[in-house]
A and B are shown apart, each in its own frame.
Chain A
Amino acid sequence: QKEVEQDPGPLSVPEGAIVSLNCTYSNSAFQYFMWYRQYSRKGPELLMYTYSSGNKEDGRFTAQVDKSSKYISLFIRDSQPSDSATYLCAMNPPGAGSYQLTFGKGTKLSVIP
């Protein structure tokens, strides 16, 4: 079993739709959970991060962490064509080795005008 599982998609939605992206993980030591956006041929760009369980909202984006289920989600409201990108989940434990991010494979999202 991989440490982080993420459906690669592709996921295609109409403009204005609510998008739900998800990852599951197996390592209970993970405490920090991040979502990165990666445009084609570009580097990953940090979108949001959360610590432990709970929700975090930033504009149209909401990140959720359910540690009991080892499941994290990113919701995008009122999706825009500019949201078309690959979304990577990443996580790491606290303390020593925390710089070693463990990434999912990424979900490719297309928002159709």
Chain B
Amino acid sequence: NAGVMQNPRHLVRRRGQEARLRCSPMKGHSHVYWYRQLPEEGLKFMVYLQKENIIDESGMPKERFSAEFPKEGPSILRIQQVVRGDSAAYFCASSPQRTETMNTEAFFGQGTRLTVV
């Protein structure tokens, strides 16, 4: 059973370009969570999605960031008009259901490291 798959692992974008980060959850998982890890900072929650639904996007910056999890295919985190401050590692996690805690049923992918030059 493959784990959470994220691609690309590394992404370089020039300022003003768009970045698209993909996350394929573990088989049987229908809930996806995106976290961002800025340099020298802890992981910060961004958004929680189920298939075709955004459940909580309270951690997403108000502009330029969007996320989706279509009925078919991976979840996508999209950053428009990237700026240097968007350089970070972006992790997604998936779980089979929204349990009361993420403690034992959510697994993280290996992340996408975005560098904006």
A interface list, Cβ under 8 A from B: 4, 6, 8, 32, 34, 36, 41-46, 49, 88, 90, 92, 94-95, 97-106
Contacts and interface: CB of A to CB of B under 8 A. Distances in A.
B104 A46 contact: yes
Given A32-B103, A95-B100, A98-B100, A43 B44 contact: no
Given A43-B4, A105-B42, A34 B103 contact: yes
Contacts of A44: 43, 91, 108
Interface in B61-111: 91, 95, 98, 100-104, 106-111
Contacts, number: 71
A8 B39 CA distance: 12
Contact of B48 (A41, A99, A104, A105): A99
Nearest to B45: A100
Given A43-B111, A45-B108, 7 more contacts: A44-B43, A88-B42, A95-B100, A98-B101, A99-B95, A102-B45, A103-B44
A100 B59 CA distance: 9
B89 to A, nearest CB: 9
B103 A105 contact: no
Contacts of A8: 40
B41 A94 contact: no
